[in-house]
Each structure stands twice: as C-alpha cells, then as structure tokens.
C-alpha cells in the first residue's frame, strides 16, 4: 500500500513539473525570451497542426517565419491540465474568433512534441483494458478483453468563439509499469468526434 502511495506522489510531482515546463514556454513566448524557448523545447521538436493554415501562429513564431499576424497573436493560457507526460493547454482570442488547444509531451523536463489544434473541440480519452473478463480462459479459446475509453478532459473554450467547430478525440493509452502504475504512453489515435 505504501508503494502505491509513493508512486501516486511521484506521478503528482511529475505532473506538476511538466505543467511548470509548459507554462515556462508560454511565459518565454510572451516575453520574447528566445533563450528560455530553446531551453524548454527539444531541438528536434515534433509538431502536429490541425486547423486553418493561416492559424499556424506557433510554428511561425518558433521558426522565425512570422508574418505580422503571427507576431501579433498572443498565446494566453486559460486552463492547463496534465495526464502523465501529456500537458493540455487551451486559450481563446475572442477578437479573432479563434480557440486553440496545445497537447504537449514533456520528456525529462523538455517539451518533445506539440500537437496544436485551432478552432477544434478536443476530447481526451484514456484507452485501458476492461476489468471484466467476457469469457473463461481455456486452451482451445482465445480470450478477447474489451477496451474502455473513459473521457478524461474536454476543451471548453472552443464554444466561446461563436461558431461551429470540428471535434477530434485524442486517446492516451495507459500501460501499467511497476514504477508508474498509470504512465501515459505516446500512442495517439485521432478520429472524428
């Protein structure tokens, strides 16, 4: 029982540290602190984008190919949540009718992946084995365990832009490791809502 409590404390501390790393990115972007941006982002950052091409503000800022519209766009987080190495940040620019969600993967204190969603309603679900066994195990049968996908989080600011937006599901697969019983593994399935 003590081992489970300790691993829960480690997970909570890791989640907190991961949120701090991601918040440091937004503070660095806001203050134009290039050194800090380089410190918190992996040099080989994996970046995914879903939304209108004209809304690739973060990519334009990070690559230096910034048209005037990108440099004037400010990422102001309205909420931040974490699930293991995945940190979700969302915000909204009411003047431009734009909502955004960033799903960042933090590895060893560095952001290694950013999935960026503009004007998209995002739902995060956890993929895990079902606790129920549907049929008895025998040597002549193959046992199939159904998977469960409980919803963990849903973006809330996409409804604030005053227009209909597409929905996506981000599925986080949890495996059970002895040290971190509910470690998120980087398996992502994205499909229409």
Q: Does 144 score more than 70 pLDDT?
A: no
In sequence order, which ranges of the chain are alpha helices (DSSP H)? 2-31, 34-40, 57-63, 68-72
- The lowest-confidence range among 35-44, 95-104, 115-124, 152-161 is 152-161
CA 128 to chain centre: 18
Kindly report, residue by residue over 72-89, the tens digit of the pLDDT: 788 999 999 998 899 999
Indicate the pTM of the whole model: 0.75
Kindly report, residue by residue over 31-55, the tens digit of the pLDDT: 989 999 999 999 999 999 998 888 8
Query: Averaged over 22-32, what is the pLDDT?
Result: 94
- Specify the CATH number of the domain 2-192: 3.10.450.50
Query: Averaged over 5-25, what is the pLDDT?
Result: 87
For the chain, counts of helices (H) and of strands (E): 4, 11
Instruction: Output the pLDDT for position 182.
Output: 42
- Mean pLDDT, the chain, rounded, equals 77
* Domain range annotation of the chain: 2-192
- The lowest-confidence range among 1-10, 113-122, 134-143 is 134-143
Instruction: Output the pLDDT for position 69.
Output: 56
CB-count burial class (<10 Å; 0-12, 13-18, 19+) for 128: middle
């Amino acid at each position: 029982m003590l081992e489970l409590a300790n691993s829960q404390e480690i997970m909570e501390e890791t989640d907190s540290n991961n949120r701090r790393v991601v918040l440091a990115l937004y503070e660095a972007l806001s203050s134009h602190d290039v050194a800090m941006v380089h410190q918190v982002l992996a040099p080989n950052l994996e970046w995914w984008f879903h939304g209108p091409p004209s809304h690739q503000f973060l990519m334009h800022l990070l690559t230096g190919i910034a048209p005037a519209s990108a440099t004037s766009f400010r990422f102001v987080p309205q909420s931040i949540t974490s699930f293991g190495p995945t940190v979700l940040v969302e915000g909204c620019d009411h003047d431009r009718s734009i909502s955004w969600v960033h799903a960042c993967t933090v590895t060893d204190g560095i952001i290694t992946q950013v999935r960026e969603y503009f004007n998209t309603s995002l739902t995060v679900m956890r993929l895990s084995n079902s606790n129920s066994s549907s049929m008895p195990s025998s040597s002549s049968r193959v046992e199939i365990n159904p998977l469960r996908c409980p919803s963990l989080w849903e973006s809330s600011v996409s409804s604030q832009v005053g227009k209909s937006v597409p929905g996506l599901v981000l599925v986080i697969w949890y495996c059970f490791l002895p040290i971190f019983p509910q470690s998120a593994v980087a398996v992502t399935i994205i499909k229409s809502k």
